[in-house]
Amino acid sequence: MKENNYKATNTKYIIPENLPDNILSGDMPRDKPVLSKELKKKAQRIFGHLSSYLDRTNKAKLIITVFGGSGSGKTALATYLAHCLSVNDIACRVLAGDNYPHLIPQQNDQRRREVYEEYGASALAAYLGSAEEIDYEAINRVISDFKSGKEKTVVRKMRETAAEIWQEEFDCRDVRVLLIDWTHGKSPLLAASDLYLFLASTVEETLSYRRQRKRDEDVAGSFTNLVLTLEQQAIETLIDEATLIFDREGELVSYRTYKRKQAGKD
């Protein structure tokens, strides 16, 4: 079990007092983060801790992963963190893992249902975030190209239909931070990051957030609830490996404190 060592301190980095409401959307072409006042405050708090890490490293290329339950605010937080970095003249690129399933969203949702209906919940749990569902080879290639100092690489973009999958050139030369936004960001199948930020949430909060973002037609349905529950159970086994753990209020906590809060003991 890891205990975090990155406390918010006075650093040379500027923590913006005000964050614009019109900053760019996430890396997913079909996605629009919900940018609430509460999330702005949380992002500012988290960047304060992140700046302590930046003070301690001289790495030319950094990979930072934001992971947590689906709909926990990862995309909005990543967008805000990218803005904070840009204010400090640190070039950053957000990379959404949701662009890397083998199937487009509608087809993948159908495949999940088929797995569940034919083989049950345990098979669905094994499918979620697996190499069968996710093209880890493609996203790992982007990570490897960035970290090895290649001038350019190619990233994937995806909307709803098979005709809406395309590739874009990513010029890495002046980018110092690659910020990965993904539910499966701590998967052992994904290439290692330098820093892992975990965002706590409950399934109920996730459902509410997904409604705001209109992520599912059946957002209140039992199958969506099952998928989110299984994803959360898988994530729970990886949280103790996170570098920084943030509770639902955006406070930096130890793994032990996180578990106590989740159990309602604090």
pLDDT in tens, 154-203: 999 987 676 678 899 999 999 999 999 999 999 999 999 999 999 998 76
For the chain, the C-alpha Rg in angstroms (whole number) is 18
Interval 207-222 mean pLDDT: 58
* Structure-model confidence comparison of residues 207 and 135, the more confident one: 135
Rounded-to-integer distance, Cα 164 and Cα 179, Å: 24
Neighbouring C-beta atoms of residue 20, cutoff 10 Å: 11
- Residue 3, pLDDT score: 47
Rounded-to-integer distance, Cα 128 and Cα 180, Å: 18
Instruction: Give the chain's largest Cα–Cα span.
Output: 56
Q: Which class would CATH give 37-259?
A: alpha beta
Q: Is the pLDDT of residue 8 over 60?
A: no
Q: Is the pLDDT of residue 113 over 90?
A: yes
Pick the range with the lowest mean pLDDT from 125-139, 194-208, 212-226. Answer: 212-226
- Name the average pLDDT for the chain: 85
And the tokens for 218?
A: 């059946």
- Residue 6, pLDDT score: 47
Rounded-to-integer distance, Cα 244 and Cα 46, Å: 9
Indicate the pTM of the whole model: 0.87
Interval 21-27 mean pLDDT: 62
Interval 7-18 mean pLDDT: 70
Q: Under 8 Å CB-to-CB from 16, ≥6 apart: which residues?
A: 44, 83, 84, 87
DSSP secondary structure letter of residue 265? -
pLDDT category at 44 given cuts 50, 70, 90 is confident
- Residue 26, pLDDT score: 59
CA distances from 19 to 10, 43, 91, 181, 223 (A): 20, 10, 17, 19, 36
